[in-house]
Amino acid sequence: MKMKIKVCQGVSGIIIVTMVTGFLLVYNSSSGDRSASSSSSSSSSSSYRLDARVQSTKAPDRSQRLQTTSLEGYSGVMDHKLLKMHCRTCALVTSSGQLTASKRGEEIDRSECVIRMNDAPSLGHQQDVGRRTSLRVIAHSSLQRVLRSRQELLNMSQDTVFIFWGPSSCMRRDGKGHVYDNLKLLNQLLPKLKIYIISRIKMLKFDELFKKETGIDRKSSNSWLSTGWFTMAIALELCDRINVYGMVPPDFCRSSSHPTVPYHYYEPSGPSECSMYLSHERNRRGSHHRFITEKAVFANWARTRDIHFYQPNWKPSPIVTTVNGSYTANPAGS
């Protein structure tokens, strides 16, 4: 708990100074001709599959967008209304170096909705990752980086929906949740931003889902769910079809012949993707992510849901039933 509070407080000081000194002039000057359509509602839905549907930035045909009920567990920072979104097709764009030189940008932008994570930029990488952003899912620990890139990620993204996730110690509304307090201040300074947070109860449901799918208790294993986990689970609730760009199959890093790419396409000199995945997966001390375990779950979901993987292109193998009635799966992508 002490570690969480320190992280939240560390975010707090930088956010206040950064926001007050840098936002208003640029934001207001770029907002004149932007539309501010509402993406929230007060009705609720109780299913695991988050029944909100993302509204895309410059969507191809808003008039044909399907109507849906509000999504329980995602509430507006200012008005506390529930998120209401739906997309027929979503491009879920990872931050992986697999996307470097992929030239998938135009294909990505043809999706009704484009989903990105944390502070992953499109500026300077449009040819590979596209230009549009309909939804951005952001970890509490990435808020500082988002603010450093505020011109692109905030000032130029008034039609984007932002969903922030974090531990309840950071997100509480009683004046002690430092991330929540600063998101509220941010929304006061930039009132057209569509900022939502994930409720404590919903966060617990994400933990329960992880345990149900893997048999692993997140807390007792000293692991944190990744932003990729939240983003994929949210996309299942928002999208009829999900096209995932830049996500490798779960067995990818086991092969010695796999190509080496950076963990993030926008940090070419950073650590390699597989070194990050393997070090986190093997770690049993301190906080870590289970990237490979999560990808195994995603592959399993793709067997029964409309999820497709590109760059690299792969499909989860079908479940094979053996003579004794047990079942197994061939390696993904085989």
3-state secondary structure of 114: strand
- At residue 222, the pLDDT reads 86
Q: Give the 3-state secondary structure of 127-157.
A: HHHCCCCCEEEEEHHHHHHHHHCHHHHHHCC
Q: Which residues of the chain have pLDDT under 70?
A: 1-68, 286, 320-334
Would you tell me the crossing angle of helices 227-238 and 200-214 to the nearest 10 degrees?
100
Residue where the block lists tokens 């739906």: 86
Cα–Cα dist 156/246, whole Å: 24
Contacts of 30 (CB under 8 A, 6+ apart): 155, 156, 158
- In CATH terms, 2-24+39-329 corresponds, of 3.90.1480, 3.40.50, 3.30.43, 2.50.20, to 3.90.1480
- At residue 333, the pLDDT reads 52
- At residue 205, the pLDDT reads 97
- At residue 96, the pLDDT reads 98
pLDDT tens-digit map of 254-273: 988 888 999 999 999 999 99
Predicted structure pTM score: 0.81
- At residue 318, the pLDDT reads 82
- At residue 300, the pLDDT reads 97
Contact in structure between 140 and 64 (CB atoms under 8 Å): no
- At residue 312, the pLDDT reads 97
Cis peptide preceding 191, ω within 30 of 0: no
Which run of H or of E encompasses 165? strand 161-165
In the chain, the largest separation of any two C-alpha atoms, in whole Å, equals: 69
Domain boundaries, the chain: 2-24+39-329
Give, in degrees to the nearest 5, the angle at Cα 134 between 169 and 142.
35
